[in-house]
Structure 1
Amino acid sequence: MSSLLRIVRFTRSLAPLYTAVIACSVLTAAAGLAVPFLIGYATDTVSGAVTEGDDVSTAVRTVVLIAAAVLLAELITTVVSNVGGWFGDVMSNRMRTILSVRYYDKLLHLPQRWFDGEITGTIVARLNRSITEVTNFVKMMSNSFASMLITTFAVLVISAWYAWPLTALLLVVFPVYVWLTSLTSVKWQRLEAEKNEQVDIASGRFAEVVGQIRVVKSFVRERGELSDFARRFGSTDDTTREQSAHWHRMDVIRRAFLNLVFFGIYVIIFVRTVQGQFSLGEMVLLIQLMSMAKAPVESMSFVIDSAQRALAGSRDYFRVMETEVDPRTAALMAAHPTDGATTDGEAIDAPVEPVPGAPVISFREVDFAYEADEDVLHGIDFRVDRGEKVALVGESGGGKSTIVNLLLGLYEPRQGSIEVVGRPSADLPLDQLRSRIGVVFQDASLFSGTIRENIAYGRPEASDEDVVLAARGANAEAFVQRFPDGYEQVIGERGLKLSGGQRQRIAVARAILKDAPVLVLDEATSALDTKAEIQVQKGLDELMTGRTSLIIAHRLSTIAEVDRIITLRDGNIDEIGSPAELATSGGIYAQLLALQSSGDTRRLAKYDITG
Structure 2
Amino acid sequence: MADAKPRNDWNTLTTLFPYLWRYKNRVLLALSLLIAAKFANVAVPLVLKDIVDALDGSKGALVLPIALVGAYGALRMASAVFGELRDAVFAKVAQGAIRKVALEVFEHLHALSLRFHLERQTGGMSRDIDRGTKGISFLLNFMLFNILPTLVEILLVAIILLQRYDWYFAAITFGTIVIYIGFTLGVTEWRMAFRRQMNDMDSKANTKAIDSLLNYETVKYFGNERWEAQRFDASMQQYETAAVKNQVSLSLLNAGQAVIIALGVTALVWLAASEVVAGTMTLGDLVLVNAFLLQLYAPLNFLGFVYREIKHSLADMERMFTLLGQNSEVQDEASAAALHTDSASIAFEQVDFGYERNRQILFDASFAIPAGQTLAVVGASGAGKSTLSRLLFRFYDVWAGHVTINGADIRTLSQDSLRAHIGIVPQDTVLFNDSIFYNIAYGRPGATHDEVIEAAKSAHIHDFVMRLPDGYDTLVGERGLKLSGGEKQRVAIARTILKNPPILIFDEATSALDSKTEKAIQAELREISANRTTLIIAHRLSTIADADQIIVLEGGRVVERGHHRALLAANGAYARLWALQQHEDEVRDDEGAAAG
TM-score (norm 1): 0.88
- Alignment partner, residue 4 of structure 2: none
Q: CA deviation at 1:278?
A: 1.8
Q: CA deviation at 1:247?
A: 4.2
How far apart are the structure 1 equivalents of 2:163 and 2:321? 45
How far apart are the structure 1 equivalents of 2:271 and 2:587? 94
How far apart are the structure 2 equivalents of 1:379 and 1:178? 66
- Alignment partner, residue 188 of structure 1: 191
Which shifted more, 242-251 or 553-562? 242-251
Which shifted more, 255-264 or 566-575? 255-264
- Alignment partner, residue 530 of structure 1: 515
Are 1:112 and 2:114 counterparts?
Answer: yes
- Alignment partner, residue 158 of structure 2: 156
User: 3-state SS of the aligned residue for 2:355?
Assistant: strand
Structure 1 contact 391–551 (Cα < 8 Å) conserved: yes
How far apart are the structure 2 equivalents of 1:456 and 1:381? 36
How far apart are the structure 1 equivalents of 2:298 and 2:237? 36
Q: CA deviation at 1:87?
A: 3.5
Q: 2:274 aligns with which of 271, 276, 293?
A: 271
Q: 2:532 aligns with which of 535, 547, 553?
A: 547
User: 3-state SS of the aligned residue for 1:546?
Assistant: coil
Q: CA deviation at 1:330?
A: 8.3
- Alignment partner, residue 338 of structure 2: 351
Are 1:557 and 2:539 counterparts?
Answer: no
How far apart are the structure 2 equivalents of 1:137 and 1:602? 68
1:75-474 to structure 2, matched below 5 A, reads 75-163=77-165, 164-326=167-329, 328-329=331-332, 351-352=338-339, 360-474=345-459
- Evaluate the alpha carbon distance shift between residue 440 and residue 602 of structure 1 in structure 2; reply closer, same or farther with a 3 A threshold: farther
Gapped runs of 5+ residues in structure 1? 333-348, 605-611
CA deviations over 1:464-491 (Å, ceiling 9, x no partner): 2221221122111111111233223332
Q: CA deviation at 1:561?
A: 1.2
Structure 1 contact 92–136 (Cα < 8 Å) conserved: no
- Alignment partner, residue 41 of structure 1: 50
- Alignment partner, residue 589 of structure 1: 574
Q: CA deviation at 1:178?
A: 3.1
- Alignment partner, residue 568 of structure 1: 553
User: 3-state SS of the aligned residue for 2:382?
Assistant: coil
The number of equivalent residue pairs is: 579
Percent of aligned pairs sharing the same letter? 29
Are 1:15 and 2:14 counterparts?
Answer: no
- Alignment partner, residue 335 of structure 1: none
Q: 2:59 aligns with which of 52, 56, 65?
A: 52
Structure 2 contact 201–239 (Cα < 8 Å) conserved: yes
> Structure 2 counterpart of 1:34, which letter?
A
> Structure 1 counterpart of 2:574, which letter?
Y
CA deviations over 1:423-466 (Å, ceiling 9, x no partner): 11111110111111111111112112222221121311112222
> Structure 1 counterpart of 2:372, which letter?
G
- CA RMSD, aligned part only? 2.6
CA deviations over 1:108-139 (Å, ceiling 9, x no partner): 11111111221112221110012212222222
CA deviations over 1:298-324 (Å, ceiling 9, x no partner): 222211111111111221122111111
How far apart are the structure 1 equivalents of 2:228 and 2:45? 60
User: 3-state SS of the aligned residue for 1:375?
Assistant: coil
- Alignment partner, residue 500 of structure 1: 485
How far apart are the structure 1 equivalents of 2:402 and 2:276? 87
Structure 1 contact 360–548 (Cα < 8 Å) conserved: yes
Q: CA deviation at 1:329?
A: 5.0
CA deviations over 1:484-535 (Å, ceiling 9, x no partner): 3322333222222222211111001111111111100011223444343333
CA deviations over 1:328-368 (Å, ceiling 9, x no partner): 35869xxxxxxxxxxxxxxxx97346799xx8222222222
- Evaluate the alpha carbon distance shift between residue 149 and residue 51 of structure 1 in structure 2; reply closer, same or farther with a 3 A threshold: same
TM-score (norm 2): 0.90
Are 1:514 and 2:499 counterparts?
Answer: yes
User: 3-state SS of the aligned residue for 1:565?
Assistant: strand
How far apart are the structure 2 equivalents of 1:576 and 1:521? 19
How far apart are the structure 1 equivalents of 2:262 and 2:387? 68
User: 3-state SS of the aligned residue for 2:26?
Assistant: helix
User: 3-state SS of the aligned residue for 1:11?
Assistant: helix
- Alignment partner, residue 4 of structure 1: 13
Q: CA deviation at 1:30?
A: 2.5
How far apart are the structure 2 equivalents of 1:408 and 1:42? 79
User: 3-state SS of the aligned residue for 1:490?
Assistant: coil
> Structure 1 counterpart of 2:268, which letter?
I
User: 3-state SS of the aligned residue for 2:377?
Assistant: strand
Which shifted more, 12-21 or 114-123? 12-21
Which shifted more, 230-239 or 536-545? 536-545
